[in-house]
Chains A and B, each alone.
Chain A
């Protein structure tokens, strides 16, 4: 292997701060980025507890006072709809003694009561009452609500939170990735995604960044998923062949995609993206034509849904979404559910069936991805070579009409984009 231009060595045991320009280079990243627990702590501060992180979808709490347990990084977060219908993100920690307030996974409640000393909070976080109040004479009750996520914003029902009071807006953060969410919503004749199928939680002994990178790595499917392509009539393999006209794209801000539309447009068959056809989903096709008109409906049904990794934790994977949650430097959970669209029961049923077959701990696809996550985690603990090589397709990387970097489907343009953004986040003061 060609050696990168640097001195050997990890984050530098003596250094106060890692040298990001050394660890993250154009075509190489250092193995310690996946294994050093001090780096993981810095990532929590600079990425997970600062930038916009996807938390949940509004359809998971449709009614006033509904709530569901979510997370930002390793931290549990209550996502609640208050009485007025506003979405609230609250830290699940009693401001009195630190007890976990809510232990149920979801429910409907106007208030949450801490079981330890009976402090009661409304579902907007405000402290409504504390038992035996004479003991708190002169204390300002207003100061002891549940912690609130500093900024909450929603795009087309996708709720994001940032623990930093200031920073780029959600629109600025999403940038061009917002268009992918629009395209996703267009898959519904009513323009809405609904996440109603519950989540599988699949744990891996691996660093979270291996998962993020893999989501838009178009090089691995031909090998890791060869067993599936061999035993099914799936045409997914073609999309990730060396001859594929699909492209990989770096949207900036860490967001990356595999744009499969060139291949689907070549096929020119509505719903081919989903391995099916209009005559198998006649109700869906009819509703789409009614909602969007023949031409637009046909084009939506040819293009299919996006394959986009919205940094740092939301992977929209055509028929399902994954939410990536880091727990420790070498432990990550992927929460996954079938995409469901408003007004499309026949499509939704098929989406659930295919998702259940593909993903989760026993999934035909994801169990094998997980195996690679865990083996790479073991691998990067080894000493020689210390670096990972990200150079695939660099010589043919180009700019598209919008100025975004694109590569062939199997190129590492997305991986390089993810690391460029990572370095900028980690270098920020």
Chain B
């Protein structure tokens, strides 16, 4: 079905937002990345499948807003050794879709591949990512980000960079 001009605008806004988030993560712009979150943001990277209950079982990351802030503060100490030196990162974001839009909140999803190189060697990460984005002063903010790593049921190397 053809998109309305409004839907096209929304898709373009979402796309630009996701590209910006990707760049901030790749370049370790921690504070600018943190500023993308709403005050009730939830950052979730499940383990052992995509449909687990994070309130009951272990996830790789299940941060509420204050823990997101703590994660960023830890980077700033200069003693987050798994990111000192920082991973070199480049990610491709693709297959961006707007799944729902009620005028206030947008549900969007994309695929992402991240190439990481660090002391240990190179790792290629791949994921499907779900977002809930909120309109905020003519811009967007992340209220929810769920990163479903393709290999989240397997044993994984450290990934303490922002995924």
Contacts and interface: CB of A to CB of B under 8 A. Distances in A.
A63 B4 CA distance: 55
Given A367-B82, A370-B82, A198 B158 contact: no
A361 B153 CA distance: 12
A360 to B, nearest CB: 5
Nearest to B163: A362
A307 to B, nearest CB: 20
Given A202-B155, A362-B160, A371-B82, A230 B77 contact: yes
Interface residues of B, number: 36
Contact of A228 (B74, B153, B154, B163): B74
Contacts of A228: 74
B124 interface: no
Interface in A325-374: 333, 336-338, 349, 352-353, 355-357, 360-364, 366-368, 370-372, 374
Nearest to B63: A357
Nearest to B59: A356
Given A227-B79, A362-B158, A378 B119 contact: yes
Interface in B17-63: 45, 47-48, 52, 55-63
Q: Is chain B's interface secondary structure helix, strand, loop, or mixed overall?
A: loop
Given A226-B79, A230-B79, A356-B58, A198 B156 contact: no
A227 B155 CA distance: 25
A138 to B, nearest CB: 44
A375 B70 contact: no
Contacts of B120: 205, 374
A204 B73 CA distance: 25
A356 B62 contact: yes
A200 B58 contact: yes
B26 to A, nearest CB: 17
Interface string B109-134: 00000000001110000000000000
Interface string A148-164: 00000000000000000
Interface of A: 105, 196-205, 224, 226-228, 230-232, 333, 336-338, 349, 352-353, 355-357, 360-364, 366-368, 370-372, 374-375, 378
A96 to B, nearest CB: 28
Interface of B: 45, 47-48, 52, 55-63, 67, 70-71, 73-74, 77-82, 119-121, 153-160, 163
Contacts of A370: 82, 157-158
Given A231-B70, A231-B73, A362-B61, A203 B81 contact: no
A337 B58 contact: yes
B156 A202 contact: yes
Given A200-B47, A370-B82, A371-B81, A361 B160 contact: yes
Nearest to B56: A197
Given A200-B58, A357-B67, A367 B158 contact: yes
Contacts of B80: 227, 367-368
Contact of B58 (A105, A224, A355): A355
A361 B58 contact: no
Contacts of A363: 160
Contacts of B79: 226-227, 230
A364 B71 contact: yes
B74 A371 contact: no
Contact of A333 (B48, B55, B155, B163): B155
6 contacts: A105-B153, A201-B154, A201-B156, A205-B120, A227-B79, A349-B55
A353 to B, nearest CB: 8
A196 to B, nearest CB: 8
A201 B156 CA distance: 6
The 3 A-B residue pairs whose C-beta atoms are closest, nearest first, are A201-B155, A367-B160, A227-B79
